[in-house]
Structure formats: structure tokens, C-alpha cells
Structure 1
């Protein structure tokens, strides 16, 4: 199961639901956070307006650093999630939740789910959030 999470919101309910589904189905879970891809237009604009290659390299390095920091935040959120969900962790068999931060083009904020379904090349099952 692929679980895409944002870092600006509390992802515990999403993680709880995906791990619960994985326990019920015997599936493995992979956690993904997408860092917005810089379009060719943006890159070209930067090249035109910043002719200094050293500055461009510094900007690229900064994006890599931000992606690394996002991975650290994601790993920390997973640790915090497990700390608050001991029984679920035991049910999941103490397996890891592999986390990845990739550069890509996350679908625009409204509506993300519809965009994922539209762009996917594999079958997608969408699970609505729990309404307590």
C-alpha cells in the first residue's frame, strides 16, 4: 500500500488507517511525501535571471537539503506515531514503514484524490477518512 502524506498536517489519522488496513489484508505499507517538482519554465527563468552558475548550484543544493530535512521530519512523525500506537505496532509485526521523499508534481491541492486517480497507470483504491 502506498500512503501519501503531507507534512503540514497531522498525519496520525492517515497512518492509523493505512496500517489498520495493512494488518487486515497482510499488505506492506510504503509512506511517500512529494516535494514539488520545479517545472522547466521555472528552471529556465532561474537560468535567465541568475546567470551565475554558482548561485544556481547553491539553489539546487538547498532543494536537496530541504528534501533531506523533510525525510527527517517524516521519519520523526513515524516514530511518534508508533509511540502512540503500541497495539497497532504489535499487530503490524514491528515491521518498518519505509519512508520516501521524492521530487515530483503533487497534484494541486483541490482535489488531490481525483488527480491521483486520473494520473495513475495502475489500479487505485481510495479510502475515505474515518468520520468519528
Structure 2
């Protein structure tokens, strides 16, 4: 979308989080649009960067949103640490690594990665990772066809 905008255009987004991941990214996108002469209109909070006030508000809201996210992640990490101390948090059970031997055997026998995925209920990315880490030679081998 950013490549297609032209001077005088206005980009409308429904929510700020649909435009940028964090304050830095928001400022980069905002500066890019400003450099091309494009205004940004964020509908749910009524900010339009065509005005100096709109630019200020966008920067402030972006910083606050990043702060809130960082605080939430900090509280989450504290909660997990406390739960681990109490023995109540074990984390997710590893699934793909526990099936490494089966994945390698199936690939060696010519089973497609899609077939392995269906058979072992693993994602394709996990299958490729197992092969790449344990038997990279199979990635270029005809046994590893899809």
C-alpha cells in the first residue's frame, strides 16, 4: 500500500495497530507518508496528520501504546516467573522435536512433507526445521519431494 500512495493522497486506517507494530515503526511510516506528501487519517481516534496537532497526537498515542504493551509483557513475565516458582507453569509441551526420528524416517522413505504433516499433525515449517537441523542432506535429495 505504501508504494502506491501519491502526493495529495490520504491513507485511512481504522485503528492504529493495523498500521504499525510499535512507536518506531509508526514514526517511520508517518515520516515516509509525510515525505511523499500523504496525510494519514486514523478513524477510530479521529487523528489526521495533515495538521500539526494531528502529528503530535499520533506520536503521543504511539508512545503510550508501546508503553502499555511493554508493561503488559513485563507483568506477564512476572506472572510466569511466579507460577514457575510455585510449580504451576511448565510451558508448552514440545511436540515437533519429540517426533524427529519419525519425521526423518518418513522423509527417507519418500513420504511428502505434506503427508508427514498430516500423519504426525505437525506444521510444514516444523518438518523443514527438523530436516534442516538433523539431516540437511535430505532437503536436496529426491526422497524429500512434495
What range describes the TM-score normalised by the shorter chain of this pair?
0.3 to 0.5
Specify which structure has the bigger relative contact order, considering alpha-carbon pairs within 8 angstroms and separated by 6 or more residues: 1
State the TM-score, normalizing by the size of structure 2: 0.29
Structure with more strand by fraction? 1
Q: TM-score, normalised by structure 1?
A: 0.32
Specify the structure having the higher radius of gyration (Cα).
Answer: 2
- Larger % of helix: which? 2
